Amino acid sequence: MINKKVIEYIEAIIVALVIAIVVRTFVVQPFSIPSESMLNTLIKGDCVMVNKFIYGIKIPFTNDYLVELEAPQRGDVVVFEFPRNPSIDYIKRIVGLPGDTIAVHNKQLYVNGSRVDEPYAIHIYPDMQLPQDNFGPITVPEGEYFMMGDNRDDSADSRAWGTVKRNAIIGKAWRLYWSWGSISDVRWDRIGKKIE
């Protein structure tokens, strides 16, 4: 005969697991930064919480929305399924909305013909001309978004592999919950930082 206390512990563990699965599926998901494509906003070793609820509620194990909420906005830092391999998650900044015309001239982003002020964007090779320094113009298709890394000289983004469908967006990066370069290099000053 199983002890009543053991049954209570098993029930508590099951309830905790169900809550954790529901929260991860619908509300927030952790994501770690594997590269330097989002410098200086995010650095390699940062761990972020992604708000999955902000854009809508998806049917579990699909990319179909049960309920669509807020639309992704220009400037949002988002995690999404890489268009060429949906099993890989990427993180970039939305710079173009559906219908926008996007162009890059001499490292400068233009949206709908207007130069965009981007205080978060950096160029680690400011004096070097790179293939991605001149791009477009292209019009973002309906229901899709144009993504770019903040580290414009070292980012594989929509300039290389195209736009991202709305339903491939997993969520908006919200806050850093951890940051380290190694076990002896914890970046305490970054923990809790809001991602903007």
> Which one of 58, 92, 155, 158 is the catalytic residue?
92
158 flagged as catalytic: no
Smallest CA-to-CA distance from 121 within 154, 145, 91 is with 154
Distance set, CA 114 to CA 101, 117, 130 (Å): 10, 10, 22
Q: Is 139 helix (H, G, I), strand (E, B) or coil?
A: strand
Q: Which residues contact 79 (CB under 8 A, 6 or more apart)?
A: 29, 31, 48, 50, 89, 90, 91, 169, 170, 171, 173
182 flagged as catalytic: no
> Which one of 5, 32, 35, 37 is the catalytic residue?
37
d(CA 152, CA 194): 21
d(CA 42, CA 61): 28
Q: Is 79 helix (H, G, I), strand (E, B) or coil?
A: strand
Angle at CA of residue 69, ends 64 and 74, nearest 5°: 100
Active site residues: 37, 92
